[in-house]
Amino acid sequence: MSNSQPVIVVGAGFAGVTAARELTRRGRQVVLLEARDRIGGRTYYTEKLGRKLELGGTWVHWFQPHVWAEVTRYGAELTQSPAPEKGYWIVGGCRHEGTADEMLDLLDTGARALGEDSLRLIPHPYAPYEVEAGSAAEAALLAADKLTVADKIAQLDLSDDQRELLDAFWTLSLSGPTNVGGYLQALRWHALCGGDWLLMFEACATYRLKNGTASLLQAILDDSDADLRLGAEVTAIDHDPAGVRVRLADGSTVAGSAVVVTLPLNALGSITVSPALAEGKQAAAREGQTSQGVKVWARVRGIVPPFAALAPAGHPLQLAQLEYTVDGDSLVVALGADSTAVDFADREAVQEVLRAWIPDIDVVDVAHHDWVADPYTRETWPMQRAGQLTGALAELRRPEGRFFLAGSDYARGWMGFIDGAIESGLDVARAVDAALNS
């Protein structure tokens, strides 16, 4: 094996496609192996319920610098999710209805308080764990990383309703339980937005790509000379200082100078690596991260006014909001923290859940992709558990010989977002090229 052999990139989501573009631009040959019959990974723009919909990653923002650079580079256009007018929320076991602003006002005090220490604890959001050993900053960071979001919420001086709505918001954002998700994970989002929670909320869920995530991803892929192979499921990787040998499920092997693996943390254990990866990486993969949620679309009879709805943990969905209208019906997107809470492919089950907010809502059809059951994903958007920011992240980012991990799960900044996937693809491509040049 030699450095003139191709670099093998495993996975054609945003991280893999970005790494492939960067490496081919540096004159490297790239073989891009994707298990599915499509590119995109956790972004999936496809025809459902009467129009093209995003079943996975969707919203982007100019506060997310890596995806924004790609938006600029390829001239991608944005559209905006409708600003909600009505608000529906469940707290204290009761349904409430008012304006969206009334609901936001109830959330505001707690959301501000939770993010209050973000800039003090994470002054450099792209180097959150790089603090001077033995310093007071390190002690503060380590102490904070012991807390879950639920621990932090319990410390805040809030009314019961404020507390419950804040818990709903972070159950939604973590795509999993607040007693697992790390407090620092929440602070990292705040820190990336200058400590402003409303800006953070806007960055996470307002602007979408007009022609879908697939259009931006395809533009990046078209800018590379990578040899894309679909239906190429990788089962094992042997690596040594001279190169790598990648085995596929069909029994074939591909030899390369280095390998970039972009599998989500919760799916990383599905590939056998030899020699085995460092125990720190294996332990992180075994532990996994927080997210285990669901995103479901519902086609609702008639035109409903733009709304947003929130509900606490225990309710099968934490958020629902109007996204589009189509042929006299409305398309509602909803997110929940437990993909197994009900059968989200069942129209009646989803209708019953939505009726907890809007009693007369009439669901015509539903669509979703079960990312947690999907063997190539096993999670939604990655959200660190308590302890993982100061624990496993640095090890996960450390290459081992010719083996490199890339992806949203291992990003420095907007981990869990399309932006983080692109950031990591850029970072790792540079590191691979440097390693092969040295």
User: Which residues here bind ligand FAD, judged by CB under 6 A?
Assistant: 10-16, 33-36, 41-43, 56-60, 233-234, 262-264, 267, 270-271, 295, 371, 376-377, 380-381, 407-408, 416-419, 421
* Three-state SS annotation for the chain: CCCCCCEEEECCCHHHHHHHHHHHHCCCCEEEECCCCCCCCCCCEEEECCEEEECCCCEECCCCHHHHHHHHHHCCCEEECCCCCEEEEEECCEEEEEEHHHHHHHHHHHHHHHHCCHHHHCCCCCCCCCCCCCCHHHHHHHHHCCCEHHHHHHHCCCCHHHHHHHHHHHHHHHCCCCCCEEHHHHHHHHHHCCCCHHHHHHHHCCEEECCHHHHHHHHHHHCCCCEEECCCCEEEEEEECCEEEEEECCCCEEEECEEEECCCHHHHHHCEEECCCCHHHHHHHHHCCCCCCEEEEEEECCCCCCEEEECCCCCCCCEEEEEEEECCEEEEEEEECCCCCCCCCCHHHHHHHHHCCCCCCCEEEEEECCCCCCCCCCCCCCCCECCCCCCHHHHHCCCECCEEECCHHHCCCCCCCHHHHHHHHHHHHHHHHHHHHC
From residue 96, how far is each of 93, 108, 251 by CA, in Å?
A: 10, 17, 57
Q: How far is the CB of 45 from ligand FAD (least distance, A)?
A: 11
Amino acid at 166: L
- Is the distance from CB of 21 to CB of 275 less than 8 angstroms? no
Residue with tokens 């983080």: 420
Q: Which residues pair with 310 in a beta bridge?
A: 89, 319
Q: How far is the CB of 47 from ligand FAD (least distance, A)?
A: 17
Q: How far is the CB of 16 from ligand FAD (least distance, A)?
A: 6
Question: Smaller CB distance to ligand FAD: residue 197 or 381?
Answer: 381
Q: How far is the CB of 135 from ligand FAD (least distance, A)?
A: 32
Question: Smaller CB distance to ligand FAD: residue 167 or 419?
Answer: 419
Question: Smaller CB distance to ligand FAD: residue 287 or 374?
Answer: 374
Q: How far is the CB of 181 from ligand FAD (least distance, A)?
A: 15
CA distance 45 to 211: 9
The count of residues in the chain is: 438
Q: How far is the CB of 264 from ligand FAD (least distance, A)?
A: 5
Question: Smaller CB distance to ligand FAD: residue 60 or 436?
Answer: 60
Q: How far is the CB of 207 from ligand FAD (least distance, A)?
A: 10
Burial of 349 (0-12, 13-18, 19+ CB in 10 A): middle
Question: Smaller CB distance to ligand FAD: residue 22 or 164?
Answer: 22
Amino acid at 142: L
Q: How far is the CB of 24 from ligand FAD (least distance, A)?
A: 17
Question: Smaller CB distance to ligand FAD: residue 228 or 363?
Answer: 228
Distance between first and last Cα of the chain? 16
Q: How far is the CB of 26 from ligand FAD (least distance, A)?
A: 19
Question: Smaller CB distance to ligand FAD: residue 96 or 378?
Answer: 378
Question: Smaller CB distance to ligand FAD: residue 131 or 429?
Answer: 429
Q: How far is the CB of 332 from ligand FAD (least distance, A)?
A: 15
Q: Which residues pair with 97 in a beta bridge?
A: 88
Question: Smaller CB distance to ligand FAD: residue 140 or 236?
Answer: 236
Q: How far is the CB of 14 from ligand FAD (least distance, A)?
A: 4
Question: Smaller CB distance to ligand FAD: residue 299 or 368?
Answer: 368
Question: Smaller CB distance to ligand FAD: residue 131 or 309?
Answer: 309
